[in-house]
Structure 1
Amino acid sequence: MPPSHVLVPLDGSPLADEALAEALALFDCHITVLNVVTPLDSGMSEGGVLDAGEDRRESAHDRAERLVDRARTRAADADRTVDTAVRTGDPADTILEYVDDHAIDRIVMGGHGGERNAVARRLLGTVATTVVGEAPVTVTVVR
């Protein structure tokens, strides 16, 4: 059964961009693009270890808005529209919460290399590994 609502988490990476292209090409349904801004006190952040402060927070939210705006433009170029959302939190947890809170029935996301001591994490990345393992819906990981 084809999905009716696909979630594409975007983090600005080339693989996330490929995931959006894949979702737009494969699924003729409602697509939502989600960017998660990682809190400064988290062990992960979208740009690595960065200085705390209001400038950093504002910069992260500006970056998130640029990412979702770019996704809207890419969808429009394909004669499609996407809904967009920006949330703050741990990326994997926030993606899973978004799925639970909305009528999402498929996730399409990019995978990234992660820690070298775990094969799955090396193949998919830590966020993708967590989402694949815990999502209540089908997850397609683009590599």
Structure 2
Amino acid sequence: MAPSHVLVPLDGSPLADDALEHALETFECPITVVNVILPLDAPMSEGGLLGADEERVGAAREHAELVIEQAERQADVADRTVDIMIETGDPADVILDVAEDRDVDHVVMGGHGGDANRIAKRLLGTVATKVVAEAPVSVTVIR
């Protein structure tokens, strides 16, 4: 059954761009793209190591806007439009929440290498691993 609404999380990586390209080429339904800004006070963020300040907050927001602008250009090339979102939080949790809140029935995302001690994380990446494990909808991971 073809999905009626696809979510594509974007982080500016080539695999995320490939995920959007795949979604645009494969699915005729509405596509929502989301970029998740990691809170700068999170332990694994730059701000968690250096302390959050206005300059880093502004840089994170600027990066998110560039990622979204690139997605809009990519959609234009495919003669499509995408709904856009910029959210702040834990990336996997935000992706799962958006999928539920927006009645998404398919997620297409890039996979990234992760913790070398766990095979699933090496194959998919920590965010993708959590989304695949917890999403109540189908997930396509682009490698």
TM-score normalised by the shorter chain: which range applies?
A: over 0.9
TM-score by structure 2 length? 0.95
- Asked if the contact 1:92/1:127 (under 8 Å) is kept, the reply is yes
Cα distance, 1:45 vs structure 2: 3.5
CA displacement, residues 13-55 of structure 1 (integer Å, 9 cap, x when unaligned): 0000000000001001100110000001223348995552011
Residue aligning to 1:58: 58
Residue aligning to 2:22: 22
Cα separation, partners in 2 of 1:70 and 1:17, compared to 1, 3 Å: same
Residue aligning to 1:98: 98
Cα distance, 1:88 vs structure 2: 0.1
Cα separation, partners in 2 of 1:30 and 1:58, compared to 1, 3 Å: same
Residue aligning to 2:119: 119
TM-score by structure 1 length? 0.95
Contiguous gaps of at least 5 residues in structure 1: none
The amino acid that maps onto 1:118 is R
Cα distance, 1:12 vs structure 2: 0.5
Distance 2:42 2:129 in 1: 18
| Higher alpha-carbon deviation: 96-105 or 43-52 | 43-52
Distance 1:15 1:54 in 2: 30
Question: Is 1:81 the equivalent of 2:74?
Answer: no
* Moved beyond 6 Å, runs of 4+: none
- Asked if the contact 2:5/2:29 (under 8 Å) is kept, the reply is yes
RMSD between superposed Cα atoms in Å: 1.6
| Higher alpha-carbon deviation: 95-104 or 83-92 | 95-104
- Asked if the contact 1:38/1:46 (under 8 Å) is kept, the reply is no
| Higher alpha-carbon deviation: 34-43 or 112-121 | 34-43
Distance 1:50 1:74 in 2: 34
- Asked if the contact 1:11/1:46 (under 8 Å) is kept, the reply is no
Distance 2:48 2:115 in 1: 14
Correspondence list, 1:32-51, <5 A: 32-45=32-45, 51=51
The amino acid that maps onto 1:60 is A
Q: How many residues align?
A: 143
The amino acid that maps onto 2:73 is T
